[in-house]
Structure 1
């Protein structure tokens, strides 16, 4: 049987998976709806996919890209982002207990996984210091200094989504609420008076923003929140570059909109750094999980 590496990128809406060869080439990929009612449901869907893959291949390692505060030493999701049922969960321990074989498993915060992917072969291969900003269900972040991930005390470094930037107007609303793709969708939903039951994708909003003045207003206001995050990170960390990831980063209009917003800040000229999208866009979490397996196998 062929040796493979199995990676999961766990998000608030979907769990993406990828199966790779030993040479890190894609074999298969897909996604599953993220169950968020009980831990049992969550682990059932992971173990079902692992069982499916192991029917035709020998799994040599499993990598998990995970939301929230991730204790990589003990494999614990201290807080699992939007997945409240997994707060405090010993993810690796519980997953291993459900598997028939003792696979080596690695776990890391999703934004840090994205940073690892960019470090290894993406848009950060030639820099020492950079910041990753991911836009999705929440706003994720990662700090890389001298090509090493910064985890911080309590594994909370890079939680940029918890920044408060608009207190006068929005009180303690964080950038998770205002600058994530979910924040964009929520603002669009309010503007258009769309019911919560109707699914809206950030990609859909970006695809039509040029055609509709109301959508333009929503997108530009949202972009100002993203620009505030970028500015605050530039003046705090002074990185060589700032990378933007998440599914919405694949839209070619995104970077010009953000650049236009940040150039309105009169202080940006003194602190500006290059802003780029991730090379791997929405695949960066999976490829970062693959890097975890690669690095773990060398220890």
Structure 2
């Protein structure tokens, strides 16, 4: 009998969430630890090993784990490493897949969190049966996973698919955490919506319930609540955000002609406040040959399980990694 479970691990800047998942996409059990508790990666792996083994033993899953899938910032599917992640406590290049394989004795596959979400959507969610789609994650930043002909696009170095860092405002754009200006995520992430709110409040005088809040503490949730209550300025913020996003999406369609663009994350829950201006802007900016061909969908993954599900889907693909050969050995064999 093949092993019926995989483990999904989502490593975030604050928390690491992990769980045991079956082939139907049911999260059998999950738990979490604090990511930043250990500045030393070996100590972190030891705590994760202890916590995950307790979960495995409590659910009689020992020797039933096919593999482990991990979603983490700045991670490279080809090498199994996390590389220079600014929001994690471990600096430089971290051989994560190697460390986890040694700790648990099962194959490990690693990718970034947006790619993991795309794999999860393709395995368990709205993209089941699709071979060409783009996953957009709308959170603190804007992430993306691009699937072409049923395969994630990794590029030659493992880092392809950074659509959140496509420049949408080449002149006088906002400063981005990546060091450039005008990136999509500075306008269309949850933090981007809050930045737009502060800008609008500073340059305009029309009334808004957002003016009752300390300006530096305004969040995208505050903007959403105001918009739902009928606040005109808050609704204009979503209109502005959706127009930028829709224009960018029209460009993404020209690149890979996806069957769908699927939105996931807290900001996507704004519903028609955001979806309507995105659709309108996409239609206005779309090349004629692509008009009406790409669906705009919301993720079908349950948000509380999505991080673990997305990572776990990668676990089904995990294969034992052979010991790396040196360049000299490879050349000698050619």
Q: Shift in Å at residue 237 of structure 1?
A: 2.0
What is residue 206 of structure 1 aligned with on the other side?
A: 224
Q: TM-score, normalised on structure 2?
A: 0.73
What is residue 29 of structure 1 aligned with on the other side?
A: 30
What is residue 68 of structure 2 aligned with on the other side?
A: 62
Aligned residue among 69, 74, 80 for 1:75: 80
- Tell me if structure 2 keeps the 8 A contact 1:220–1:261: no
What is residue 156 of structure 1 aligned with on the other side?
A: 159
Query: More deviation in 32-41 or 287-296?
Result: 32-41
Mapping for residues 99-110 of structure 1, pairs under 5 Å: 99=103, 101-110=104-113
The answer to whether structure 1 residue 115 and structure 2 residue 135 are counterparts is no
1-structure distance, mates of 2:302, 2:253: 21
The answer to whether structure 1 residue 277 and structure 2 residue 298 are counterparts is yes
Structure with more contact order per residue of length (Cα contacts < 8 Å, sep ≥ 6):
2
Query: More deviation in 172-181 or 282-291?
Result: 282-291
Larger Rg: 2
What is residue 136 of structure 2 aligned with on the other side?
A: 133
Aligned residue among 218, 221, 242 for 1:223: 242
Count of aligned positions: 292
Q: Shift in Å at residue 27 of structure 1?
A: 1.9
- Tell me if structure 2 keeps the 8 A contact 1:39–1:86: no
Unaligned 5+ runs, structure 1: none
The answer to whether structure 1 residue 52 and structure 2 residue 54 are counterparts is yes
2-structure distance, mates of 1:251, 1:50: 34
Please state which structure has a larger fraction of its residues in strand: 1
- Tell me if structure 1 keeps the 8 A contact 2:36–2:89: no
Quickly say closer, same or farther: Cα 1:258–1:206, change in 2 above 3 A: farther
* RMSD of Structure 2 on Structure 1 (CA): 3.3
The answer to whether structure 1 residue 293 and structure 2 residue 315 are counterparts is yes
- Tell me if structure 1 keeps the 8 A contact 2:83–2:93: yes
The answer to whether structure 1 residue 256 and structure 2 residue 259 are counterparts is no
- Tell me if structure 2 keeps the 8 A contact 1:250–1:281: no
2-structure distance, mates of 1:248, 1:233: 20
Q: Shift in Å at residue 173 of structure 1?
A: 2.9
Q: Shift in Å at residue 138 of structure 1?
A: 1.6
Q: Secondary structure at the match of 1:296?
A: coil
Quickly say closer, same or farther: Cα 1:96–1:110, change in 2 above 3 A: same
2-structure distance, mates of 1:203, 1:46: 32
